[in-house]
Amino acid sequence: MVSKQHLLTYLYLLVYILLSSGVILYNKWVLSPKYFNFPFPITLTMIHMGFSSLVAFFLIRVFKIVAPVKMTFEIYATCVIPISAFFASSLWFGNTAYLFISVAFIQMLKALMPVATFLMAVICGTDKLRCDVFLNMVLVSVGVVVSSYGEIHFNIVGTVYQVTGIFAEALRLVLTQVLLQKKGLTLNPITSLYYIAPCSFVFLFVPWCLLEKPEMEVSQIQFNYWIFFSNALCALALNFSIFLAIGRTSAVTMRVAGVLKDWILIALSTVIFPESTITNLNIIGYAIGTLLYSILTLIIPFFGFPF
C-alpha cells in the first residue's frame, strides 16, 4: 500500500511536470507570430522577473513568511550579480529561440544541458574529466547531432540562441554551487527570487532598451493584462514546484521526471502546434541523447567503469 508520504511526493512531481510543460507551451504560444503574436522575448522575461520580485518582496517584507538571509555587499557583488547575469541571459536566449524553432526541437536541444554543465564544471574546477562521464557526454552529443540532422525546419539562428541559453544556464548552475556554497549561503525559492529576480530585471533592461523598446514603440502590439499576469503566475508557480519536488525526492528521481516531462512535452507540442513536425531521426537522436544517458548514469555508479 502506498503511504501518504509517497503520494505527496508523486503529487509534487506531477505538479512539477505539468507546470514545467505548461510554462514552455504558454511562452511559445505568447511569443509565436502564428498565435498571440507578441514577439518580444526580453519583454516577456522582464515581466516574469518583475512579477517574481514583487511577490517575493511582499512575502518577505510585508507578510514575513520567511526571513531574508544575511546579505553583505561583498556577497551580493561576487555571488548574486554574476548568477543573476547568467540567469537573465539563459532566459533571454531560451525565450528568443521560440521565435525560430519548435518546442519539440528545443526540448531535444536541451539534452545538451548535462554536457554544458559538465564542461562548465570542469572549467570552473568543481569536477574532473572522467572516462565514464565523458562517454555519457559523447552519447548525448551524438544524439543531439542526429536529432538536429533530422529536423525538417532547422533554423541556425534559433539553434544558436537555444544552445547559448543552455550554456548560460549551465554556468549559472555551476556558479550557484561554487559561489553560494563557498559563502555558506542557503537560499530557498522565495529568498532566491527576492535577491536574484530584481538584479536579473536590471540586466535585461539594457538589451530591452536597445533591441525591443524602439520596435515596440512603432509596432501595433497586443497587450492583454490577463494573459501576461497568468503567464507570470505560472512561471512563479514553476519555481516553487521545483523546490518542493527537489525537497521531497532525490537527484536521480528528478532526472527521470525531467526525461519523462520532455517526452510528454514533445508529444504535446506536436498536437498543440501542428507545424511542429518531428521525424524518425528526431526521435532516434533524442532517444540516444536521453534514454542511454539516463541508463548509464544509473548503472555506472553501481557497477563502475572499466577504464
124-166 pLDDT tens trace? 877 777 776 667 777 777 777 677 666 667 899 999 999 999 9
Convert the pLDDT of each residue in 25-54 to its tens digit: 999 999 998 889 899 999 999 999 999 999
CA–CA dist 297, 120 (Å, integer)? 19
Q: Which residue has the cell 538584479?
A: 199
Nearest CA among 49, 41, 34 for reference residue 197: 49
Query: Tell me, what's the pLDDT at 303?
Result: 42
Query: Tell me, what's the pLDDT at 304?
Result: 44
What percent of the chain lies above the pLDDT cut of 70? 83
Q: With contact defined as beta carbons under 8 Å apart, do 157 and 97 qualify?
A: no
CA–CA dist 80, 196 (Å, integer)? 6
Once rounded to an integer, what is the mean pLDDT over residues 274-280?
76
CA 261 from chain centre, in angstroms, equals: 13
Q: With contact defined as beta carbons under 8 Å apart, do 79 and 180 qualify?
A: yes
C-alpha grid cell, residue 257:
521526471
Query: Tell me, what's the pLDDT at 302?
Result: 43
pTM of the predicted structure, to 2 decimals:
0.87
Residue 37 has φ and ψ, to the nearest 5°, of: 65, 60
Average pLDDT value over all residues in the chain: 82
CA–CA dist 198, 65 (Å, integer)? 19
CA–CA dist 166, 99 (Å, integer)? 16
